[in-house]
Amino acid sequence: MDTNVGPDEMIIHMGPQHVAQPGPFRLNVKLKGETVVDSEVELGFIHKGIEKILESKTYLQGIPIVDRICYLAALTNEEAFVGSVERLAGIEPTERSQYIRVIVEELSRIQSHLLGYGEYASFVGFVSMFMYPIAVREQILDLLEMTTGARITHSFLRFGGVRDDLPEGFREKAKEVFANVEKALQEWENMMETDLIYKKRTVGVGVLTADVAKDLGVAGPPLRATGVPFDIRKDEPYLVYNDLDFKVCTETAGDIFARIKVRFAEIRESMYIIEQALDQMPPGPLFNEETPYGKRTPIMRIPPGEVFYRVEDPRGEMGFYMVSDGSDKPYRVKIRGPVYPTMQALPPLIEGVQLADVVGIAGSMDACTSEADR
């Protein structure tokens, strides 16, 4: 960004601590009057060194570490990490475990979208709307806690399976919770479709085009809101997604309104996926009996090799590149998360908009600074 300013220009710094930011980062904005003419994103304020930490831990010890990349996507982070190790070791999870993984990972997607919507709504001035999605999200977290024993960071996946089976009464509880979620979604959508002030602040505001999104590597709901139907669950199916019927949710406008609509549609699809998984899940063990790896395997020596494995995170493409040297720890781990390219889309998105719209645009992208600063 050009830091030279004219007599009618100024530079303001939003962050690194700011009420409308999903974590510490700095958005430097150059204004002409109230209009944004240039901007840049500064990251690195909470860099955690997770890739190097993983290289100093055994494979099993790495599972709780990847939960902390972004707690809103803890289970998909586990899937990317555990899946990479499974491919290096030639491990195939049992079919029942794969269905359980799909269920908990889709629950994680729902709770992430609900929190993202609540935060975004408060950014555009609908402060009370933050509490409504949070109340519904607590019910989703109840389901996750029933299954994994934790509400946020789960350490639930294992190499070749999962730590525990679904608890008794899970299906009935899920049916009750999903009815509440659907009712809430209908109420919120009615509000968005009819409130003139909300529509004025979102329709046609912060338009991301498909070309810009693809050039920057943006994935997930912001990309699908531009009309690009890219979803790794469909394009490169993993677990048992190939056996499940679901659609890739897209919109074409690419604005704030479209990005929120895509996430609401994805919540419904996730519930539909979970219902199918519960109906189709076969009986059987959580681990293959012939594998040397199981629920508790503190020391695992993985054959030498390298792998790249990616999954559909709530925010887009989450991939792990992993190199094994045959020891009990990964030799190299490199993470390709969805948030860094999403945040690079902010400068072109906010160019030419009013300063008052910046926080709404940023909130609709549903970034996670913790994941970018891993």
* DSSP-H helix ranges across 124-169: 131-148
- The owner of tokens 């790495």 is 62
Please list, in sequence order, all residues whose beta carbon lies within 8 angstroms of the beta carbon of residue 249, skipping any fewer than 6 positions away: 224, 262, 265, 266, 269
* pLDDT above 90 (res 15): no
Looking at residue 292, what is its pLDDT?
65
Average pLDDT over every residue of 230-252: 95
**Nearest residue to 334 via CA among 320, 354, 348:** 320
* pLDDT above 70 (res 333): yes
- From 82-91, 118-127, 203-212, 230-239, the region with the lowest mean pLDDT: 118-127
* pLDDT above 70 (res 263): yes
pTM value is 0.94
* pLDDT above 90 (res 1): no
Looking at residue 298, what is its pLDDT?
60
Give me the amino acid identity at 150.
A
Average pLDDT, the chain: 91
* Percent of the chain whose predicted confidence (pLDDT) is above 90: 74
Looking at residue 299, what is its pLDDT?
72
* pLDDT above 90 (res 22): no
* Percent of the chain whose predicted confidence (pLDDT) is above 70: 97
d(CA 164, CA 78): 15
Question: Would you place residue 124 in the very low, low, confident or very high pLDDT band (cuts 50, 70, 90)?
Answer: confident
* pLDDT above 80 (res 232): yes
Question: Would you place residue 129 in the very low, low, confident or very high pLDDT band (cuts 50, 70, 90)?
Answer: confident
* pLDDT above 90 (res 288): no
Looking at residue 181, what is its pLDDT?
96
**Nearest residue to 338 via CA among 211, 223, 210, 206:** 223
**Nearest residue to 349 via CA among 196, 223, 189:** 223
CB 310 within 8 A of CB 336: yes
- In three-state secondary structure terms, 11 is strand
Kindly state the helix (H) or strand (E) to which residue 318 belongs, with its residue range. Answer: strand 316-324
Looking at residue 122, what is its pLDDT?
83
Looking at residue 297, what is its pLDDT?
62
Question: Would you place residue 162 in the very low, low, confident or very high pLDDT band (cuts 50, 70, 90)?
Answer: very high
Looking at residue 289, what is its pLDDT?
79
Q: Where are the domains of the chain?
A: 46-372
Q: How many CA atoms lie within 13 A of 56 on its CB side?
A: 5
Q: What sign for the dihedral angle of Cα 213, 215, 216, 220?
A: positive
Report domain 46-372's class: mainly alpha
Q: Which two three-digit tokens encode residue 325?
A: 């040297």
